[in-house]
A and B are shown apart, each in its own frame.
Chain A
Amino acid sequence: MPRSRKSARRQRMEAAINYPIEWLEERSGLIGGVRYFLFRKVPSDTNWMQTLGSATLTAFIVQAVTGAILAMYYKPDPNSAYQSIQHITNDVWLGWLVRGMHRWGASVFIILMFFHMARVFLFGAYKYPRELNWIVGVLLLALGMLEGFTGYLLPWDQTAYWATVVGININGTAPFLGPFLAQFLRGGAEIGPDTLARFYSIHMLLIPGALIGLIGLHLYLVVRLGVTSPPWSKEAAGAERVEKPKRGRRGLLMPGARGGIPR
């Protein structure tokens, strides 16, 4: 079989595949952006522990997707919330699975967040210049746990109800502003008709929106600053980002020794 014909066909195929990609790139720069985001240089001795952040992100995406599906059947009304959950579990096809994924996934998400945080802590990856990303991470952790708190009420069974009563009243014991915080959460002096929908809105709209924004900021900082090498690494952190690594002992004052600041 003549070689040239095969390669000509191949060329045409490649052109056909490339055309839409180039079309998109020319008009948006998105392909280059994605490439910049995904195909970064990282220290050669990165560790499996450094995938825990991506694992957390995956858990978050699973929560977002299963949550959107649950929201198609859930009714945030005190007189029908419990029945709608029973309906999801017993009647909706594979509803039990989606509900189970969301419920267990919530714990997985929080646990992974803690594992990821532990890895960052033990690797010393919170140090200069990544302090800000640690702070963003703390906000993510707080918002993630608020997700757990607001989501726990939604099944509207006895456990959900009384756990939330206790949880709100624990907030109410904070000095000075505590009682006001509790009343803000309840949406009134007592848990009442508005509390459930209030928690639902916070759980599915407000906090996820904030989480998505903060995750974007978190990842932006990861890309901008690069990931740290493990503490046992012989490589200078961020060396891959420095054009000509200097020879000799890497002192604290030498650029690129502690982290790669792109310039």
Chain B
Amino acid sequence: MEPLNGDDRPHLPPPSLWPVGFAVGVACVLVGLIVDPLVVVPIGVAILLVFGFLWARDATKGYRAPVPDLEPETRRPGREAPPIPAHVGEAAMPEPEPGEIERFPRSKFLEFSTLGLGGVIGGIVTIPILGPMVANPFRHEKHGKLDLGPLSDFPSGQWMIATFMTDPAEGEVTRRTAYIRNNGESNGEPSFTIISNRCAHLGCPVQPNGPVFDNKKKVERTKGAGDVTLIPMLPAGGFGCPCHGGQYNPEGNRTAGPPVRALDRYDYSIVGGHLVLGKTYSVSKVDGTGAQAKIHRYGLANPGNHVDGPEAWLYPLQPPH
């Protein structure tokens, strides 16, 4: 910007309130274009013109004012009074009284209050940040009843691949697979073996080692578990994992490979003649088979975590499921 009025500091337009009115005019025109172009827009334009003129007049004042005469330089160059050495002249600031320095100074107060206030605000903001990000995954999840259909769909002694959704509203991402065998009656109660397909090594989907009768697939639409599919199969060789070759026998006991325990199982109940899945739990091993099996049962653990033996000491706690 040109130096004005004889000094070389940049000159900015003086502060002015007219731009506020100008902005109101702009808003008025824009609103008017939507609401009523014939009445409101002209009002807005009028406001724009009036305030624009006033603003422009204000802003150009510095250019239009007459340049003031400069006071002529009276000192002769190079003959200023020598500067007074600091130790000779008077102190620029009065000596502080003894004790005054000890007082809690204002700058310290401001420093501490800024830090303190910043800390409080930071703390308050952190809670809503940590809540959804860290805490939410650890809340108990509610599941609807996973009704897999009438018992007649599960002939005695027959293995079935059952797939179902734990939360049909969320779609296919919640589809899970269980391997189910009706063990027949035991003490007058129906007995089922329900094995989760989640590999106890690192969670890949284990597959039946034996024929799968896809042509006998049955799909049933349910409310709680979405589309339930049932496919008969014959896992004569137990189950095998495609990822790292873990092998399990038909009861889910590990027989080879890297898995650290047996396959997880589902609790179940019979409600109104229907098979209803309950919670999943982890299993170290199973003695015996079918209805007579003795299941060494533990709370659900992450894949790869031992549930018994000394290695289980490394995993004393499991998050809530």
**Chain A residues near B (Cβ < 8 Å):** 78-79, 162, 165-166, 168-170, 172-173, 175-176, 178-180, 182-184, 186-193, 196
Q: Is chain A's interface secondary structure helix, strand, loop, or mixed overall?
A: helix
Query: Counting CB contacts under 8 A, is B303 at the interface?
Result: yes
Q: Indicate whether A166 sits within 8 Å of B202 (C-beta atoms), given known contacts A186-B137, A189-B141.
A: yes
- Give which listed residue, A162, A173, A196, contacts B204 with CB less than 8 A: A162
A193 in contact with B202 (CB, 8 Å)? no
Q: Does B56 contact A (CB under 8 A)?
A: no
Bound-state CA distance A168–B305 (Å) is 13
> B148-187: contact bitstring with A at CB < 8 Å (1 yes, 0 no)?
0000000000000000001100111110100000000000
Contact among B138, B173, B305, B319 with A191 in the assembled complex (CB-CB below 8 Å): B173
Inter-chain CA distance A162–B206, complex, in Å, is: 12
Q: Report A-chain residues with C-beta under 8 Å of the C-beta of B319.
A: 179-180, 183, 189
Tell me, in angstroms, the Cα distance from A23 to B56 when the chains sit together: 25
Q: Which of B216-239 contact A (CB under 8 A)?
A: none
Stretch in B20-28, B270-278, B283-291, B310-318 with 4+ CB within 8 Å of A: B310-318
**Across-interface contacts of A191 in B (CB, < 8 A):** 173
Specify the chain B residue showing the minimal Cβ separation from A78. B173
Within 8 A of A (CB), among B290-315: 300-305, 314-315
Distance between Cα atoms of A173 and B306 in the complex (Å)? 9
**CB atoms of A172 and B305 under 8 A apart:** yes
A76 to chain B, nearest CB (A): 12
A-B CB contact pairs (8 Å), 24 listed? A78-B170, A78-B172, A79-B173, A162-B204, A162-B205, A162-B243, A165-B204, A166-B204, A168-B203, A169-B202, A169-B203, A169-B302, A170-B304, A172-B302, A173-B305, A175-B315, A176-B317, A178-B302, A178-B315, A179-B317, A180-B317, A183-B137, A183-B302, A184-B137
Is B204 touching A192 in the complex (CB atoms < 8 A)? no
Q: In the complex, what residue of chain A is closest to B205 when comparing beta carbons?
A: A162
CB proximity of B145 to chain A, nearest CB, Å: 18
A184: chain B residues at CB < 8 Å are 134, 137-138
A232 to chain B, nearest CB (A): 46
A168 CA / B137 CA spacing, docked (Å): 14
Inter-chain contact A169/B303, CB cutoff 8 Å: yes
**Residues in chain B within 8 A of chain A (CB atoms):** 134, 136-138, 141, 166-167, 170-174, 176, 202-205, 243, 300-305, 314-321
Please state if B317 and A166 are interface contacts (CB–CB under 8 Å): no
Whether the Cβ atoms of A179 and B174 lie closer than 8 Å is: no
In the complex, A182→B314 CA distance in Å? Answer: 15
Residue of B nearest to A183 (CB): B319
Complex Cα distance A179/B303, Å? 9
A183 to B172, CA, bound (A): 20
CB distance from A125 to the nearest CB of B (A): 36
Which residues of chain A have C-beta atoms less than 8 A from B305's C-beta?
A: 172-173, 178-179
For residue A178, which residues in chain B have a CB less than 8 angstroms away from its CB? Answer: 302, 305, 315
Chain A residues within an 8 Å CB radius of B205: 162
- A residues in contact with B134, CB < 8 Å: 184
Chain A residues with CB below 8 A from B167, complex form: 192-193
Residues of A contacting B315 with CB < 8 Å?
A: 175-176, 178-179
In the complex, chain B residues whose CB is within 8 Å of the CB of A187: 136-137
Alpha-carbon gap, A170 to B318, bound state (A): 15
Residues on B with C-beta less than 8 A from A170 are 202, 304
CA A78 to CA B204, docked complex, whole Å? 19
Q: What are the residues of chain B within 8 A of A196 when measuring CB–CB?
A: 173
Contacts of A190 in B (CB 8 A): 166, 174, 176
Q: How far is the CA of A184 from the CA of B136 in the complex (A)?
A: 9
In the complex formed, the residue of A with least CB distance to B319 is A183
Give the chain A neighbours of B166 by CB distance below 8 A. 190
Q: Which residues of A contact B300 (CB under 8 A)?
A: 189
